[in-house]
Amino acid sequence: MGYLDNLIIDTDNYKHCHYPLYPKGTEYVSSYIESRGGDFAVTQFVGLQAFLREKLMKPISLEDIDEAEFVVREQGMHFNRENWMGILNDHGGFLPVEIEAVPEGTVLPARNVLVQVINTDPKYFWATSFFETALLRAVWYPTTIGTVSWLSKMVIREALSRTADSTAGLRNMLHDYGARGVSSQQSAALGGLAHLVNFDQSDTVPGILAAKRFYNAGKVSNSGPNSEHAGFCAWGRAGEADAMRNMLETMGPNGCALLLTDTYDHENAVKNIIGKELKDQIQSFPGLVGIRPDSGDIVEVTADTTEWLMDAFGYEVNSKGFKILPPFIRVVQGDGVNYHSLPQVYMELERRGLAADNAVFGMGGGLLQHWNRDTMNFGQKASAVCVNGEWRDISKQPTGSSMKASKKGRLALKHENGVYTTVPKGSIPESENVLQPVFRNGKLLKKWDFTELIANAEKDVPESYYIDHVGQMRTVSSEMAVSA
């Protein structure tokens, strides 16, 4: 979508009239980005480097200025050509700004500074806030998706630790199926790469490509042969078993085959076709056979399918006393999986004495699309200005919303004894400031590798970061004890 690449008009129209609204003598403007709280107590910061490399490291051109002037004036908005010719001639077309940010992949409590921006040339003090629209969009979306993915990972880890023998397969337990349910290919790319910080499973190719392009990622994802209703329906209802048999034979060399079971009658497909007619072929399959229900009540159908498969193929009892299917077969649940339903599924499995690793999951729109900027109340706000050489701390304090109260002053991020705190810049040594300079005047100062994002994401964090979401799962044991 090259026609949208012009940074000068990758903004709200009204931004073009803001530069004369600052006090005379304004030299520097400092702003910051944070999640002001919302659905989640924490944020996993992801995605800034993709924006820097895709947008801010490409200079504007004379043609960009001409196009922007035509478009902006056509809308009846003021346009200052001199400002942009100055950017072109004084700075080679690169925005004269410096950006500091939290190391990508880091998980920290909401209401802390994540990004801080300041202009580097006093002539262009207005540049700090001009590209807010593009910058905030580039940060809030992948960070929100990363947070949803990370919290889902905490749910799965909790379930495995409670009912499975091992958490070793954690990164393979949640697959990204969101490409078709998201609003754009760019969203699929940014949300998809955010998910890959936490899991190694995805069918969202744009996310894989973005991780490689912007973060030097190597092999970041696994997938496997799956089926779809078009192929199975083509065999007709009477040929459903033949359709499954054909897939098992065709995909045997791949060592994986995921069989759809709800093309017609899910219960019949599991109990009679898979559990009887194809039982010998599945038991001798050279790898994993996934049984994929794709409709129905996700909580009930996941647990029911697991029990039906155990009736057909048997089970073992693990060291924690929970039933586990033979290693060649698992339930693969990708329908109705979202932030809210996932813990409910695991709670039902536990109630029935079924180990968490009987099933693996895929998440689509619930991962990449069910969220907006207000989910975590992201905002970018100016917090300090320098006028005629004098710095002023500034903030907004609206009486109509305490949530929208902003921070004031130049900021730093302190991490001490496991606690993150936003503090005034200069109150701690710069060596202790978690915010790191990542961009200045068109140049990338710090290049994050995808392995670093994963390492940051997997650092130990206090239980308080995720207990609001995971805590409900701990009620199952008390319920079971009471019923016993």
Q: Are 57 and 444 in contact (CB under 8 A)?
A: yes
Question: What's the confidence (pLDDT) of residue 483?
Answer: 63
The confidence score (pLDDT) of residue 120 equals 98
pLDDT of residue 392: 97
Chain-centroid distance of CA 402 in Å reads: 27
Rounded-to-integer distance, Cα 346 and Cα 354, Å:
9
What's the confidence (pLDDT) of residue 415? 97
- In this prediction the pTM is 0.96
List phi, psi (to 5°) of 191.
-70, -40
- What is the tens place of the pLDDT at every residue in 56-106? 999 999 999 999 999 999 999 999 999 999 999 999 999 999 999 999 999
Question: Contact 44/107 with Cβ under 8 angstroms?
Answer: yes
DSSP-derived secondary structure for 316-332: EE-TTS-EE--TTEEEE
Q: What radius of gyration do the chain's Cα atoms show?
A: 26
Sites in the chain below the pLDDT cut of 70: 1, 477-478, 480-484
Give residue 401's pLDDT: 86
Is the torsion defined by CA of 159, 161, 163, 164 positive or negative? positive
Q: What is the pLDDT of residue 1?
A: 58
Predicted confidence at residue 155, as pLDDT, reads 98
Domains of the chain, start order: 2-143+375-462 (3.20.140.10), 166-368 (3.20.20.70)
CA distance 390 to 411: 17
Nearest to 176 by CA among 159, 190, 164: 190
**Mean per-residue pLDDT over the chain, rounded:** 96
